[in-house]
Amino acid sequence: MDGWLWSALTALVFYGLWGFFPKLAVGYISPKSVLVYEVGGTLLVWLVALQRVSFRPEAILRASSLPLLFEKFVTVHIRCLVER
């Protein structure tokens, strides 16, 4: 039981910091810039994590086209929100 408890508490602390640091940064730079830096940092962490577990994506066109289509919808939605 102790193994999962410490992992859960650590995740909770990091999740709180993930929301707290951008709130502090908005006092110095624009919210749009904070979002760009936050997304860039998240992508960097994901790339490092995927490299550490030796992840290699499968290249099946039919299966990989659906996430790419979803990503396009998300990009259009974010662009509409930013351009308000």
Mean pLDDT of 13-24: 90
Q: What is the pLDDT of residues 25-44, one digit of tens each?
A: 999 999 889 989 988 988 89
Cα 56–chain centre separation: 19
What gap in Å lies between CA 50 and CA 62, rounded to an integer? 23
Q: What is the pLDDT of residues 44-79, one digit of tens each?
A: 988 898 888 888 877 776 666 777 777 777 788 888
Query: What's the pTM value of the predicted model, to 2 decimals?
Result: 0.56
Contacts of 54-57 with CB under 8 Å at 24 or more apart are: none
Confidence band of 1 (pLDDT split at 50, 70, 90): low
CA–CA distance from 47 to each of 20, 26, 30, 39, 54 (Å)? 23, 26, 26, 12, 10
Nearest to 42 by CA among 25, 56, 67, 22: 22
**According to the model, what pLDDT value does residue 13 have?**
93
